[in-house]
A and B are shown apart, each in its own frame.
Chain A
Amino acid sequence: MDETLGGVRVGTDLVSVGQVAESVARFGDRYVDRIYTAHEISCCRGTPAVVAAGLAARFAAKEATVKVLRSVGHQPDWRSIEVRREPAGWCRLSLSGEAARMAEEQGISELAVSLTHEGPMAAAVVVAVCAGDEE
């Protein structure tokens, strides 16, 4: 889902915590290191279930960001979209590399993210302020 209202874009995504847990169990560090940054991995510690929930929420945030970037065909490196957790507990997005270039091309000046997980599912919502969408 991706809606544009004036200069605002919204992207959202839903990820199965169980499927992320299966990926970690099946592919281990190859899965984790191809998708998540060192900071994101450091934020997801604890039991396997807690780790999977945190990673699933972050994957949802990355996919929601891809939606507001409106990439056509091309998939930026997952690690170029990073969820940064601030000491106070809230999260923000940090883009680098190709994701940052795509955001600049789209005129996106600000991004905000919210993560959640409950039971078997994790979700994220990303809001982008996009100068390019202003009429």
Chain B
Amino acid sequence: MEEEIRQILAEHGRLPLEMDELDNDTDLYEAGMTSHASVNVMLALEDAFDFEFPESMLRKSTFESVTAIQAALISLVGAPVE
């Protein structure tokens, strides 16, 4: 799941840094992700994991880091099967 999140951030997050420079707790907005880019990240996550974010989770905090996105996904679609 973390790898998929990182791939989506690389493709849609328009971050001015490489993914291997990004810690899981790095604040993505402080790292340069715009609100518009976060919309694309949200839609790409929905495509990848086949769900739709409820309005209650459309908060900046939901998308502020890899860790936060992973926590949101687990709460919505469950933990990945090992």
B61 CB contacts on chain A under 8 angstroms: 73
Complex Cα distance, B46 from A31, in Å, reads 11
- The prevalent SS among residues of B at the interface is helix
Residues of chain A in range 1-57 having any CB-CB distance to chain B below 8 Å: 15-16, 19-20, 23, 26-27, 30-31, 34-35
Query: What CA separation (Å) do A35 and B59 show in the bound complex?
Result: 14
Chain A interface size range: 10 to 19
State in angstroms the CA–CA spacing of A27 and B60 once bound together. Answer: 20
| A31 CA / B40 CA spacing, docked (Å) | 8
A34→B35 contact, CB < 8 A: no
B59: A residues at CB distance < 8 A: 73-75
Q: Complex Cα distance A79/B57, Å?
A: 15
**For A74, what are the chain B residues with a Cβ–Cβ distance below 8 Å?**
59-60
Partner of B43, one of A19, A30, A66, A78: A30
**CB of B71 closer than 8 Å to a CB of A:** no
Contact with B along A88-109 (1 / 0, CB 8 A): 0000000000000000000000
Q: Is the CB of A59 within 8 A of B43?
A: no
Q: Is A63 an interface residue (CB 8 A)?
A: yes
Q: Indicate if B6 sits at the interface (CB-CB under 8 A).
A: no
A10 to B: closest C-beta gap in Å: 18
Query: Residues of B at under 8 Å CB distance from A?
Result: 14, 35-37, 39-40, 43, 46, 55, 58-61
Could you write out 20 A-B pairs with CB less than 8 Å apart? A23-B40, A23-B43, A26-B43, A30-B43, A30-B46, A31-B40, A31-B43, A34-B39, A34-B43, A59-B36, A63-B35, A63-B36, A66-B35, A73-B59, A74-B59, A75-B58, A75-B59, A75-B60, A77-B58, A78-B39
